[in-house]
Structure 1
């Protein structure tokens, strides 16, 4: 069967124009399957990896439905809620939705409230009742409790993106509390890389007769296609060995290196730079803007190597430093 194209999905011309501007000549597998089902009003549970085009798979029908509802003049209200596990993902979703609404930005307004700003400073944004609100469960719940956001009568669509991560990041209680603020009936989309027990439980809570899409839309290799090598060497030889692997091009292309401690990541970076090998360091102590900038530079090819820190070591170093401080008192 031939693949369904964007222009065959009954989408608004303004949306199609934005899709063309993004250079998407045809939908990805998940977009082809999910968009028509979503436009029919069905609830969707989709297993899709990062990179499969899943954001647009829910963003396009959400925008389309809002545009369609605006044709019958209705008051401005929050019609869609997108829940994400991190503020970084919140930013990405907002950027994607803004790109898709570039020709209808007056009709579909998107607000991302997942950032670090105070709840009170975000209040004016929500008072304008944007059509789509993007946020983490805890932040959305805070606004619901503060009555900056009222959804029980206006909400028509809810998306839970990276549902499996929401649980591993500890948002389960917030998510359940949040549901009390929602209307009885709304369309739901659940996106997840895995179908864990928690995701299955969430499906029971949120979805009504959902269509289940188990797609491997992205061409990322699975474990059967990956090869793992272990090299045992002395501590003092490790940096030299890394240099050798890179110099002999035994390791090529985009590379992610993990080291055990923060200072070590900077030492490795300096070591490689002595040999003209540019690398960048990434860890959670860097400000969010810096992290985003580093990733952008990595994606644009300024660096081929990211040196990341094992966050466990970060947590333990913080607790030990905390203990030391207490003792010194």
Structure 2
């Protein structure tokens, strides 16, 4: 049989694509000479990937935009050889701007030739995903904290992490890029290292952060959930939070809350209430996987109560009881930390957040591009490249790192 591309796997994000490639190569470890997998998700020039495609790998994994670019450049041909087309997270692919790319891809390669002639040329594709399910309460504990002010959110998070009330690795989800760095800088004030994960970072850096987190190198990731589905028409539009301005450098093929395999996540903290029920399910679904226990904790301000109510109604049990139980703790016991929390919040100014974003992007671009050749020759040294180093654009106050016994 002539060597040719037999299978094409389309993924919505580069991070998910990298994990799919890794899994396929592990499955084909004992027949690597017979089954070759090509990764088109990497953020490299088309010319750099062309030699790989010239060898006609058996399986190609990529995002719709990148695959379509190679088809247009005639470096990839699927017209006479493709036997299997896989749409990973199909509803996400067809719902967030990839639908036209997929249609163009199919028609450009005349894959529609397999469609019966009785069907019209313009076929409306509708995907009805299965109803997402979360584990039961015996495996996944879901809590909600109704905070009166923004300061209460930061105070509670500081107490949970600094006093080790929440053990194990955790994902912290926020709503905007600015809040991602604000929270990271706030944690730095207390000597708590955390990685930022958002669409502004280079794809190679994002994938490396996820890989190192799964290896246990980091304990906390502060992530933005920018691929969350849009609010349906029947729901009122959500007010934009300050700092929610869109960045020109955002990667449209970024996705964290969904599809990515984060391993051994003990807890998911929704620092900001997710805008939709689906977003909540996919965030919380990062923990309590493979029969492991997990905890989900959601902080809600008064202006976020409408979003929270929709989530509680959708996840209510048969008797109408909410699955999100109140998180029981004594506010008085952590009140002594409030002045320290307030002191740290004052240090994290808008200017500090802006400088942190610029510095993080510059550092990660340096790591991603300048060191690429070195790490290709020395792959074992890649583990020393860390992404949770302090950014320090804000004034760091050393006394906040240590919590006295009387507190």
Task: Report TM bin, short chain.
Answer: 0.5 to 0.7
- Tell me which of 111, 117, 132 is aligned to 2:44: 117
Give the Cα–Cα distance (whole angstroms) in 2 for the partners of residues 291 and 247 of structure 1.
26
- Does residue 198 (structure 1) correspond to residue 112 (structure 2)? The answer is no
1:149 aligns with 2:76: yes
* CA–CA separation in structure 2 for the residues paired with 1:310 and 1:93: 21
Contact 2:160 2:166 in 1 (8 A): yes
Counterpart-to-counterpart distance in 2, 1:172 and 1:134: 17
Paired with 2:49 and 2:87, the residues of 1 have a C-alpha distance of 21
User: Contact (CA 8 Å) 2:177, 2:244: kept in 1 or not?
Assistant: no
1:108 to 1:315, Cα distance in 2 relative to 1, 3 A: farther
Structure 1, residues 37-85: CA drift from partner, whole Å, max 9, x if none? xxxxxxxxxxxxxxxxxxxxxxxxxxxxxxxxxxxxx111111111111
2:232 pairs with 1:318: no
**d(CA) in 1 for partners of 2:244, 2:182:** 20
Output one character per residue of 1:283-305: Cα deviation in whole Å (capped at 9) or x when no partner. 22222232223223322333332
8 Å CA contact 1:156–1:185 kept in 2: the answer is: no
Give the equivalent residue in structure 1 for 2:172: 257
1:270-289 equivalence runs, <5 A: 270-289=185-204
Corresponding residue for residue 206 of structure 1? none
C-alpha distance in structure 2 between counterparts of 1:310 and 1:164, whole Å? 17
1:276 Cα offset (Å): 4.2
1:176-219 Cα shifts (integer Å, max 9, x gaps): 12222127459xxxxxxxxxx8315xx9xxxxxxxxxx698x9x
After TM superposition, the score normalised by the length of structure 2 is 0.47
- Taking a change above 3 Å as real, the CA distance of residues 170 and 232 of structure 1, as seen in their structure-2 partners, is same
Counterparts of 1:309 and 1:145 in 2: how far apart (Å)? 33
Point out where structure 1 has 5 or more consecutive residues left out of the alignment.
1-73, 187-196, 204-213, 320-329
Question: In the alignment, which residue of structure 1 is the partner of 2:210?
Answer: 295
Go from structure 1 to structure 2 and tell me whether the alpha carbon gap of 1:82 and 1:123 turns closer, same or farther (over 3 Å shift): same
Whether the 8 Å contact between 2:181 and 2:196 is mirrored in structure 1 is yes
Alpha carbon RMSD of aligned pairs, Å? 3.3
Q: Mean Cα displacement is larger for which, 233-242 or 151-160?
A: 233-242
1:269 to partner: Cα distance:
3.1
Against the structure 1 CA distance between its residues 265 and 158, is the aligned structure 2 distance closer, same or farther, given a 3 Å change threshold? closer
Matched, 1:94 2:52: no
Any idea what SS the aligned residue of 1:318 has? Answer: coil
Deviates more, 1:106-115 or 1:243-252: 243-252
What does 1:15-164 correspond to in 2, within 5 Å?
74-164=1-91
Shift of the 114–246 alpha-carbon distance from structure 1 to 2, 3 Å rule, reads: closer
TM-score computed with the length of structure 1 as normaliser: 0.57
The verdict on how the C-alpha distance between 1:226 and 1:83 changes in structure 2, with shifts beyond 3 A counting, is: same
CA deviations over 1:3-42 (Å, ceiling 9, x no partner): xxxxxxxxxxxxxxxxxxxxxxxxxxxxxxxxxxxxxxxx
2: CA distance, partners of 1:139 / 1:155: 17
Give SS of 2:17's match.
Answer: helix
Q: Report if aligned partners of 1:79, 1:131 keep a CA contact under 8 Å in 2.
A: yes
Structure 1 residues 156 and 235 mapped into 2: Cα distance closer, same or farther (>3 Å)? closer
Instruction: Report the alpha carbon displacement of residue 280 of structure 1 after superposing the two structures with TM.
Output: 2.2
- Find the aligned partners of 1:237 and 1:315 in 2 and give their Cα distance: 21
Q: In structure 1, what is the equivalent of residue 94 of structure 2? A: 167
Distance (Å, rounded) in 2 between the aligned partners of 1:152 and 1:223: 49
C-alpha distance in structure 2 between counterparts of 1:306 and 1:114, whole Å: 22
Aligned residues: 222
Are residues 177 and 227 of structure 1, via their aligned partners in 2, closer, same or farther at CA, if it must alter by over 3 Å?
same
CA distance in 2, matches of 1:106, 1:270: 48
C-alpha distance in structure 2 between counterparts of 1:215 and 1:258, whole Å: 23
SS in 2 for 1:230: strand
In structure 1, what is the Cα distance between the partners aligned to 2:206 and 2:59? Answer: 26
Q: 1:230 aligns with which of 141, 145, 165?
A: 145
Report the Cα offset of residue 255 of structure 1: 2.2
Q: CA deviation at 1:223?
A: 9.1
Partner secondary structure for residue 107 of structure 1: coil
